Structure 1
């Protein structure tokens, strides 16, 4: 059974990333002209600041230098986080997105934009914003019913404390 380069790299690098308290979210090797780029996306429940990214980048670079996992040619290592509008694909992604506004796509039943209030093993408690002056409602959905989910960027979101001060 043959494995792809990405799978071999995942097996090599995932334990090292986990030892740094991070999760390996994505790994990809892309060709950019004559050069190759190894993109590694990491995250954790508490996020990953620039210092943590730099530390894991140095550790990954050293590990790759001592193996031939990337072969003989030149490559660039890029380590980063998933970004603001990340796709939610794993249970831990939904837990980490608690409090965030998410665009959901459900199999056969359409689309919904709602805020994740709580995520557990069975599903999600969502707050669906009210329309035309109506109050927000809550809704429970099963994770199995979610076909796609992507965090939405909110530029003018008011925190709960600010809303209470205005009331």
Structure 2
């Protein structure tokens, strides 16, 4: 029985202790097998956005762990593998409160029941179950509270223009203050 190539779950389990020690989250793991060789791509992020130097350090530690797993005979990575460690691209869909928190003040495309709208991301509430979304309707600011349990998909929308000051101001308010502002504007 030959050693198996680790599954994404097994890889996640192997690398999580290291990424956690650096306060990073594993956002994506992709394994591309090309003949005898393979590429393991790992997307890591943190609240402060990892620098290239930090990613390099983590990459070194991850290589050691993967090599050790192979030496111990737990997994096989084929005739040689390449490890790529980077931050995930902006096309990563939001699946956790941290994605909203880390992209605050950026634009987001939120799709619900087949309809997409562009909003600016405001504050999460203290329990991280809802997020303030700021929009503009007929030049008036609109504040919406999105419960993260509501069915939706969300992804960063690339912005080329300078953000309107009013939207940034509202996105900068804490959750409760933003809700109050939303009530006043009704």
Which TM bucket (shorter chain)?
0.7 to 0.9
Query: What is the CA distance between 1:31 and its match in structure 2?
Result: 1.8
Structure 2: tracts of 5 or more residues without a match: 1-5, 170-186
Q: Tell me the TM-score normalized by structure 1.
A: 0.84
- The CA distance in 2 between the partners of 1:56 and 1:145, in whole Å, is 35
Are the aligned partners of 1:64 and 1:70 in contact in 2 as well (CA < 8 Å)? no
1:126 maps to 133
CA change 1:40–1:70 in 2 (3 A) is farther
2:144 maps to 139
C-alpha RMSD over aligned residues: 2.2
Aligned residues: 157
**Equivalent residue runs for 1:55-66 within 5 Å:** 55-66=57-68
Of 108, 111, 115, the match for 1:105: 111
Structure 1: tracts of 5 or more residues without a match: none
**Equivalent residue runs for 1:71-90 within 5 Å:** 71-90=77-96
1:92 aligns with 2:128: no
Secondary structure of 1:136's aligned partner: strand
- The CA distance in 1 between the partners of 2:150 and 2:16, in whole Å, is 29
- The CA distance in 2 between the partners of 1:54 and 1:113, in whole Å, is 35
Secondary structure of 1:67's aligned partner: helix
Are the aligned partners of 1:104 and 1:146 in contact in 2 as well (CA < 8 Å)? no
1:7 maps to 9
Secondary structure of 1:85's aligned partner: coil
Secondary structure of 1:38's aligned partner: strand
- The CA distance in 2 between the partners of 1:76 and 1:35, in whole Å, is 8
Q: Tell me the TM-score normalized by structure 2.
A: 0.76
2:42 maps to 40
